[in-house]
Chains A and B, each alone.
Chain A
Amino acid sequence: MSTSLQDTPNLGAEALLAQPGDAPRATRRRGGRPASERRSPVAAIVRWIALGATALVMLIPLYVLVISAFKPQEEIVRHPLEISPTTFTLEFLGNAVTSSKFNVIAAYGITVLFVVLVNLFCILLSAPVAYVIARGRRKWHLALLLLFVSGLFIPGQVTLIPVVFVLRVLGLINTIPGFILFETAATLPVTIFLFTAYLRTVPRDIDEAAALDGAGRIRTFWACIFPIMRPVVATVVVLNSIGVWNDFVSPQIILGPGSGIYTVTTGVYAAVGEFSTDYTVVFPTLLLAIAPIVIFFIIMQRHIIGGLVAGATKG
């Protein structure tokens, strides 16, 4: 993917995650920046101590979380940093997998389903409207953009109370469609903003060429323009997926107990909430909850970080 169009939205990310020799830009830069050998040895030592200490602070909690999932309570409390073969056990992880309060497998399934559906509907709704706005020349196009962008300043949690009211009127409260509807709407402001910004960089010649072929506008968009949007779609998918996977308040309120539907976060809350001092429940449950997202992050980190950077700097 080397056309300039496809590179632009992820500019920050490309630069950021570039390995030596990864991209011409990075190579050039590396030569230009003062290299580490020019530093004094003292500065280098201080730098590595600072970085090493910070890295430990970041990693030890994760390490304790992982090893504690395989130890009995007594060991977790007495020897928090060690794991010994004599006390190693899969019992508690097994309990967490089969817990009646938090059906992990079902929660993964439900949450993945939500992630997929929200992404799908978000793109289906946002891409066409962003195209109309990006190509529009009238006042109402601008008004439309401002309308959606205003959503960036509305914290989702504070509209939840009236949203419950609205979903009730629509008969969608405590249902998956109701949740998908709200969650999709919550993704629209950032998505439409990013799509519009991206589409403004796509030359109009492409529409014109397609239009001359006699294709309708909707067809022109999906057939000719949408495929070009792949990089920005990837950005949006990353942003929305992380957002939906980690959301707690919306599913907790919209999908109440009556629905019996638990996502990973609401499931963790139900399982850990009142037993947060029983570490043989806490650590295995948390490990199960974060394992997929951390693995996904490690595999996809280039795209994830790139997407977040693009989303933040433009949204």
Chain B
Amino acid sequence: MIDKRKLVAVGALAAVGLGLAGCATGGGDEGDGKQTVSLLVNVTPNLTEEWWNDLVKPFEDANPDIDVTIQNPGAEGVAAAVPRLLAAGEAPDVVESLPPSTELAPELVDLSQYDWATEAPLAEQYTIDGKYYMAGIGLQVQSLWFYNKDAFAAAGITETPTTVEELGADLAKLKEAGWTGIQTGGDWMSSYALQTVGLPTVIADNPDWYQKMSAGELTFSKTYGDSVKEYADWIAKGYVNDDALGIKYTDAEQNFLDGKAALYPMGSWFVASEAAATDPANIGVFRAPAFEGTDQPAMGANIASPYVIMKESKHQDAAAKLVEYLVTDKDAILNQLKVDGNYRAGYDYEMGDLGTELLDIVTNTPDDAYTPTGQGYGERTLPTGYSTEINAQTQALLGGTSADDVDKAMDDWFTANVG
């Protein structure tokens, strides 16, 4: 009787284990020759899970032997989920929004043999040792200032600024006219304004800034210091919303859309938010200027929705088919460009005035002016953790820490992280 009880317990354990394992594991072949390709994507207010499912639906219809499952990484995002999934041996087949890096490259399928990968936007910039590991659908442009046209008019500003100095003068006028100058926020977006102020000049002056910083050949304070000082000055003068650290990205965006601030540094995806907003303020956009005397300001940009295929994938051919569809099918591309306000030469979609203004900026920016932002990509990469560090230090600036202290903290951080 006792043994029976034990047996029952063991049996129950096994049954629970097997049963739950059965329903918990995803992927794999389903016996009838049908393949399941998993696609790990960033799910955002714009890119809902439903939207992703609709996007791949035509592909599934055209390829009845391939089943695509959308994986949602939740709040942690794709970049944090992939290492954990890889460590777990649960690698997805295709990952969206994970640009290749030297660290990641050994885990990715080399796509150099495919024309759709080598001819995709920014493909060249993202190569590692001459190999193409990703395929994207369009550009996200990042060094932009969106501005409230009514605010500019009220402050008597007739032309958008073309240098940082002019921008500073305009901010003074806006403040005089009673406007909050720059809308920024807490969480990840704090450093966005600082990078929009700094990168156009820093990269224009030091084209190999990323590589040299990583090699310890340049210091942060000597290259970025002027921009930090300028931005700290703006903060001190009250050009930035004073509750910045208490509000999040979604609030900041809403405030600007509601006309509560004059300027909003953000990437091209904001155009989509503006288009979707009910009754937004009268908004325009200008390219982020550099300090006086810079010939060609750099323009932060990155690939929109790049796709990579994991080497661990057991369905690499099916995965390649899926990516080819995502980056070459006209409807799929337009769908993806439109939903996040991204751009690609030759792919016109119906866009509002703001989108048209932005397209002008893209058209007038030469290819070699494009630079990565934040951590960087391809061979232009900074030590891991740069994005969170510059963000934390910008929050310190917003909290009243002096520019010198921030420069020193960043120098210390680079010293600790380089080499």
A81 CB to nearest chain B CB (Å): 21
Are B16 and A117 interface neighbours, CB within 8 A?
Answer: yes
* CB-contacts of B1-30 with A (<8 A): 1-2, 5-6, 9, 13, 16-17, 20-21, 24-26
Q: A172: which B residues are within 8 A, CB to CB?
A: 21
Known: A168-B87, A174-B88, A257-B81. A222 touches B5 (CB 8 A): yes
Q: Identify whether the interface residues of B are mostly helix, strand, loop, or mixed.
A: helix
Chain B residues lying within 8 Å of A266, measured Cβ to Cβ, are 74
- The answer, among A117, A165, A222, A256, for a CB contact under 8 Å with B85, is A256
Q: Is B47 an interface residue (CB 8 A)?
A: no
For the complex, give the distance between the alpha carbons of A259 and B75 in Å. Answer: 14
Chain B binder among A25-33, A149-157, A274-282? A274-282
Within 8 A of B (CB), among A253-298: 253, 256-261, 266, 269-270, 273-278
Is A218 an interface residue, CB under 8 A from the partner?
yes
Q: Does A167 contact B (CB under 8 A)?
A: yes
Asked if B276 is at the interface (CB within 8 A of a chain A CB), the reply is no
Query: Does B21 contact A177, Cβ atoms closer than 8 Å?
Result: yes
Interface presence of A18 (CB below 8 A): no
Q: Are B2 and A258 in contact (CB under 8 A)?
A: no
Quick one: given A173-B89, A174-B90, are A253 and B84 in contact (CB under 8 Å)? yes
Q: Taking the complex as formed, is A24 at the interface, i.e. its CB lies under 8 A from any CB of chain B?
A: no
B contact residues around A173 at 8 Å (CB): 88-90
Chain A nearest Cβ from B33, distance in angstroms? 24
A8 CB–B CB distance under 8 Å: no
Q: Is A34 an interface residue (CB 8 A)?
A: no
User: A residues within 8 A CB of B25?
Assistant: 174-175
| The residue from A121, A222, A273, A274 contacting B13, defined by CB atoms under 8 A apart | A121
Query: A176, A216, A257: which has the most chain B beta carbons within 10 Å?
Result: A257
Give A83 Cβ to nearest chain B Cβ, in Å: 24
Residue in B closest to A259 when the chains form the complex, CB atoms:
B24
Closest A-chain residue to B16, C-beta based? A117
For residue B92, CB closer than 8 A to chain A, the reply is yes
Q: Residue B90 contacts which of A256, A273, A276 (CB distance < 8 angstroms)? A: A256
**Interface range for A:** 35 or more
Residues in A with CB closer than 8 Å to B73 are 256-257
Give the bracket for the number of chain B residues in contact with chain A: 35 or more
B71→A269 contact, CB < 8 A: no
Given A168-B89, A174-B88: A257 and B251 interface contact (C-beta under 8 Å)? no
Nearest chain A CB to B42 CB, angstrom units: 11
Contact indicator A223/B2 (Cβ below 8 Å): yes
Among B20, B38, B84, B247, contact of A175 (Cβ-Cβ < 8 Å):
B20
Total number of residue pairs linking A and B with CB closer than 8 Å: 88
Whether A47 is near chain B, meaning CB under 8 Å from some CB there, is no
| Bound Cα distance A222, B6 (Å) | 10
Chain A contacts for B75, CB-based, 8 A: 269-270, 273-274
Interface presence of B229 (CB below 8 A)? no
Compute how far the CA of A269 lies from the CA of B74 in the bound complex, rounded to whole angstroms: 9
Docked pose: A167 CA to B24 CA in angstroms: 14
Does B250 make an interface contact (CB < 8 A)?
A: yes
The smallest beta-carbon distance between B22 and chain A, in angstroms, is 10
Q: Which of A167, A175, A256 contacts B21 (CB 8 A)?
A: A175
CA distance A218 to B92 in the complex (A): 46
Does A57 have its Cβ within 8 Å of any Cβ on chain B? no
Q: How far is the CB of B13 from chain A (nearest CB, A)?
A: 7
B87 & A258 in contact (Cβ 8 Å cutoff): no
- Nearest residue, chain A, Cβ from B24: A175
Q: Is B72 in the interface zone, CB < 8 Å from A?
A: yes
Q: Is A55 an interface residue (CB 8 A)?
A: no
Q: Contacts of B5 on A, CB cut-off 8 Å?
A: 222
* B6 near A177: Cβ-Cβ < 8 Å: no
- Residues of chain A within 8 A (CB-CB) of B76 are 257
Q: Would you call A165 and B26 a contact (CB within 8 A)?
A: no
Min CB gap A46→B, angstroms: 37
Residues A258 and B250 in contact, CB atoms below 8 Å apart: no
User: CB within 8 Å of B: which of A123-166?
Assistant: 124, 164-165
Q: How far is the CB of A182 from chain B (nearest CB, A)?
A: 13
Known: A177-B20, A222-B2, A258-B92. Contact between A275 and B250, CB under 8 A? yes
A219 CB-CB contact with B under 8 Å: yes
Residue in A168, A174, A270 whose beta carbon sits within 8 Å of that of B24 in the complex: A174
> In the assembly, what is the distance between CA of A175 and CA of B71, in Å?
15
The interface residues of chain B lying within 8 Å CB-to-CB of A175 are 20-21, 24-25
- Asked if B84 and A164 sit within 8 Å, CB to CB, the answer is yes
CB distance from B6 to the nearest CB of A (A): 7
Given A257-B71, A277-B248, A165-B2 contact (CB < 8 Å): no
Residues in B neighbouring A124, C-beta threshold 8 A: 9
Across the interface, do B74 and A258 meet the contact criterion of CB distance under 8 Å? no
Chain B residue numbers with a CB within 8 Å of A176 are 20-21, 24
Top 5 A-B pairs, shortest CB-CB distance: A173-B88, A219-B2, A273-B75, A176-B20, A175-B24
Chain B residues near A (Cβ < 8 Å): 1-2, 5-6, 9, 13, 16-17, 20-21, 24-26, 38, 40, 49, 71-76, 81, 84-85, 87-90, 92, 247-251
30 pairs, A vs B, C-beta closer than 8 Å: A100-B49, A165-B87, A173-B88, A173-B89, A174-B85, A174-B88, A175-B20, A175-B21, A175-B25, A176-B20, A176-B21, A176-B24, A177-B16, A177-B17, A177-B24, A219-B1, A219-B2, A256-B81, A256-B85, A257-B71, A257-B72, A257-B81, A258-B90, A260-B72, A270-B75, A274-B249, A275-B250, A277-B247, A277-B248, A277-B250
Chain A interface (Cβ < 8 Å from any Cβ of B): 100, 117, 121, 124, 164-165, 167-168, 171-177, 216, 218-219, 222-223, 253, 256-261, 266, 269-270, 273-278
Other CB < 8 Å A-B pairs besides A168-B87, A175-B21, A274-B75, 13 of them?
A117-B16, A164-B88, A165-B87, A173-B88, A219-B2, A253-B84, A257-B73, A258-B26, A258-B81, A258-B90, A260-B72, A275-B248, A277-B251
